[in-house]
Amino acid sequence: MTPRRFLVCLALAAFAFSFSVSASADEAKKPNIIFIMADDLGYADIGSYGAPDAKTPHIDSLAVDGLKFTNFYAMSCQCTPSRTAILTGRYPQRAGGLECAIGTGNVGRYDEAEALAAKGELGLPAEYAVLAPALKGVGYVNGVFGKWHLGYEPKFSPLEQGFDRFTGFLGGNVEYFEHYETSGLDVYVKGREPIDREGYLTDLITEDAVAFLDERAAEPDTPFFLYLPHGAPHFPFQGPGDREPKRTAENWMDGTRINYVAMLESLDDGVGKVLEALEKNGQAENTIVIFTSDHGAMEPGLNTPWRDYKSTTFEGGLRVPCVVRWPGKIEPGTVSHQVGTLMDLTASFLQIAGTEAPDQKPLDGIDILGHVLDGKPEMPRTLYWRYRRGDKTWWGARDGNLKLVRKQEGDAVEEWLFDLATDPTETKSVTSERPEEYGALQRKVLLWEKEVRPWR
């Protein structure tokens, strides 16, 4: 071989090696994840799901540019258990005491929760947290800004559960301008310390999120997980222009659809600023953005066309919007009718990051994004819900297209069986027409309750 030919071959080999290393590095680069969860937002409260009045172009753009689910469920009809499900990837019943929203002032609202509160144990134990610790274990930097609602005590802080940054409020709701809750406790914190801060809550959560994105832009090769659990549109019903009248326990829940829509549109503005920051920082192409709600709305929210509201296991209490943008992976305008849940997203996030639950226990959800991206056919699911408050318990179970709803209050029991294929709005119970299927689903619920008994 001549010296000239040798040099050419050496150069080509070096180029091939360089290309191979670069390709491997690109393949190994983990995507960033932004998970935005509204609070008490109804299925039909955003434009892409039929809102007749609210203008939500930025949230809607996620559906236009990505994936829209039509059959997506929260794992409870209240706040705390749904948040437990997403951060653990499991039925919230497994955590114990978290089947109802933790009451203002760190109050348990049913027997199991009351007993835990009396011992200072009402919250999500750090050893049960899965999502943030798993991501952190494979190099993600994790930030959470907004509503926590998984325990007031320091041991339940996000900083004890795999998050590196936290600014937000510990309880279920705060006044939007002065950030207090009616208990009088200091609940608005940065890290672990209470803070005083001026500004409308939705704007401040957005401000913190954008600052986190700007910070992460300085380390583009380090992936991040940004969890944005907004307070809006949960009561008190205050839009950006509703600072007065002063909110007290007596008028805390006063509001109209006009106030509510103002909150929705402010939330959408915040989502727009997050998307703008991603573009400015060059992060958009390698970032998955998900928007959803923790459960259905209470009035004046809209759960159309589904039956009823928050705090019930009818579809209106459980069905939520969910849109996902993932550039280069999800085709714009994709629509999926596959039944999915919040805890499925946990499984998807871990799969995307190339990791698994740190405790090695199986998750209760499936990799829903992988299922859709692989083009797999829609499959029936069997899902369960249970919500407890005082002497009232609601159950729900979906098995294929059959849906069982049960309510017990004291000794009074009501139960319904619906066929969602022919009656998606749950208007006519078919318990008497389909007794065998009714009995079979009742038995499945009993077996599920045994299987998800609390770990503590």
Question: How open is the CA angle 156-291-262, to the nearest 5 degrees?
Answer: 95
**Which ranges constitute the DSSP H helices of 176-239?**
201-217
Q: Report the phi/psi class of residue 333: left, alpha or beta, with left for phi > 0 and alpha for psi in -120 to 50.
A: left
Q: Catalytic residue numbers?
A: 79, 149
Mean pLDDT over 40-60 rounds to: 98
Least Cα distance to 119 among 94, 96, 88, 91 occurs for: 96
pLDDT at 25: 38
> Per-residue pLDDT averaged across 110-132, rounded?
98
- Residue-wise pLDDT for 2-12, tens only, equals 545 544 444 44
At 388-404, the pLDDT tens digits run: 999 999 999 999 999 99
Percent of the chain whose pLDDT exceeds 90: 94
Q: Which amino acid is located at 189 in the chain?
A: V
* Residue 269: Cβ within 10 Å count: 17
What pLDDT does residue 18 have?
Answer: 42
pLDDT tens for 132-182 read 999 999 999 999 999 999 999 999 999 999 999 999 999 999 999 999 999
Q: What is the pLDDT of residue 9?
A: 47
* pLDDT tens per residue across span 293-346: 999 999 999 999 999 999 999 999 999 999 999 999 999 999 999 999 999 999
